[in-house]
Amino acid sequence: MTAIFDILVIGSGIAGASVAARLSQSGRRIVLIEGETHPGYHSTGRSAAVWEPAYGPLAIRQLTRASAAFFTAPPTGFTDAALMTPLAILTVAPEERQHRIAEELAAMPDAKQVRISPAEAEARMPVLKKGWTKAALLTEAAGALDVDAIHQGFLKLFKATGGSLVTNATVTALEHQKGLWHATTRQGTFTAPIVVNAAGAWADQLGQMAQAEPIGLKPLRRTALTVAAPSGLDTAGLPMTLDVDEEFYIKPDAGRLLLSPANEDLETPGDTQPDDYDIALCVWRIEEATDLKISKIESKWAGLSSFVADKATVAGWSARAENFFWLAGQGGYGIQTAPALSAFAAAQILGQDLPEVLQSEGFNPADLAPNRAALAV
């Protein structure tokens, strides 16, 4: 079976689902294909996402800010759930790394962070060990994101505007002939003049099939676990608390605490699982900095975050492969940037102007280009 479309989007995680939804609204025939049996199985489905404006390089912070309005007022019919709820972000540093707080402030003058005293930090996050925190930053204007509602909302929008979703369709070959791309899968061959590579941790492999330039994508494993909150601790209103060098984080999670060593361990793309060493490291780091005594883990999992060298997303046309659009390397920012990034990518693919919300941010498309100097491999 061969099916012909206007645009073929490969990968139905948050990147693929969101750009497919945007493209489908243009009236083009869009097919979104996914190798797994359901969308978002790997990175998107395992994300503990927050909307954190003081996170990532400048282009990511611009995309994050430009996505805020979507999360607070999504399109009619997108979802019945609240996509974002208030969540402050507390960044802490011990004595030997307290200088890093000043460095963080200086590196992100556009971020709405304020320096607070160690005593204020301990008051905001009562489980912090007295005296461990020597410097701290607070971001009040942040939020917790409902990952499933966001992802499902984009898929719902995609289907409502005529898009076709095909699962269990791993791409085994991708060839360009006579102006058309042909993607071979177990569900048949899908043909379109334009391909969008939103294949997540597999994006470089797909790029190789297409004979596009490599982007040096590194899939990195991150482990997370949940534990019961200590007796008497009200998690409502607690900030997400992270080490200044991302050696751990603690996030309130429906009356529990979600913990992570914030590890980034290189791994082959696949169904990644939590590593015993990562879990032990998480427990040790958090018990060093807090009064938490972790004796029972309620749940544990791992997910892949894929980064390139400069930690910014890759979104743009390949310089080598005709009509092959990269949308990869979202790292830990994929959910919080999805509305603005998908709007940008769709505009690029359709030959439209840069969205006004990104123009107002001073956003430069070259910062995400697949042929930018930082990605030379």
pLDDT at 307: 95
Task: Report yes or no: 197 and 19 within 8 Å, Cβ to Cβ.
Answer: no
> Which is more confident, 3 or 84?
84
Edge-to-edge strand order for the sheet containing 7-10?
164-166, 30-33, 7-10, 194-197, 324-328, 314-317
Could you give the angle at the alpha carbon of 30 between the alpha carbons of 311 and 353, nearest 5°? Answer: 60
| 224/137 same-domain check | yes
| 246/294 same-domain check | yes
Give residue 211's pLDDT band: very low, low, confident or very high (50, 70, 90). very high
Q: CATH code at 134?
A: 3.30.9.10
Query: pTM of this prediction?
Result: 0.94
How many Å apart are CA 316 and CA 343, to the nearest integer? Answer: 13
Report pLDDT digits (tens) over 322-354.
999 999 999 989 999 999 999 999 999 999 999
Sign of the four-CA dihedral 9, 13, 14, 18:
positive
| Residue 249 in tokens | 């984080």
Could you list the residue range(s) of the whole structural domain that residue 229 is in?
Answer: 88-141+218-307
| Residue 1 in tokens | 């079976």
- Mean pLDDT on 140-152: 94
How many Å apart are CA 100 and CA 107, to the nearest integer? Answer: 10
Percentage of the chain exceeding pLDDT 70: 97
Please provide the average confidence, as pLDDT, over all residues in the chain.
94
pLDDT at 112: 86
Give residue 376's pLDDT band: very low, low, confident or very high (50, 70, 90). confident
Residue 209 located in a structural domain: yes
Report pLDDT digits (tens) over 218-234.
999 999 999 999 999 99
| Residue 319 in tokens | 């310089």
pLDDT at 47: 64
DSSP string spanning 155-189? HHHHHHTT-EEE-S----EEEEETTEEEEEETTEE
- The stretches of 135-232 forming alpha helices (DSSP H) are 147-160, 203-209
Report pLDDT digits (tens) over 193-207.
999 999 999 999 999
Domain closes at, from 257, 275, 307: 307
Report pLDDT digits (tens) over 363-374.
999 999 999 999
- Mean pLDDT on 242-265: 94
354: helix, strand or coil: coil
Could you give the angle at the alpha carbon of 341 between the alpha carbons of 337 and 347, nearest 5°? Answer: 160
Domain closes at, from 282, 307, 332: 307
pLDDT at 45: 43
User: Which residues are CB-neighbours of 254 under 8 A, at least 6 positions away?
Assistant: none
| 238/298 same-domain check | yes
| Residue 74 in tokens | 């999504």
Kindly state the DSSP code that residue 269 receives in the 8-state scheme: S
Task: Report yes or no: 256 and 280 within 8 Å, Cβ to Cβ.
Answer: no
Is the model's pLDDT at 298 over the cut of 80? yes
Is the model's pLDDT at 377 over the cut of 80? no
| Residue 371 in tokens | 């042929």
How many Å apart are CA 134 and CA 156, to the nearest integer? Answer: 47
**Strand 240-243, strand 89-93: pairing:** parallel
- Mean pLDDT on 119-129: 98
User: 241: which strand partners?
Assistant: 90, 250
Give residue 270's pLDDT band: very low, low, confident or very high (50, 70, 90). confident
Residue 248 located in a structural domain: yes
Is the model's pLDDT at 40 over the cut of 70? no
Is the model's pLDDT at 148 over the cut of 80? yes
| Residue 355 in tokens | 């969205």
Domain closes at, from 250, 277, 307: 307
Q: State the total domains in the chain.
A: 2
Residue 179 located in a structural domain: yes
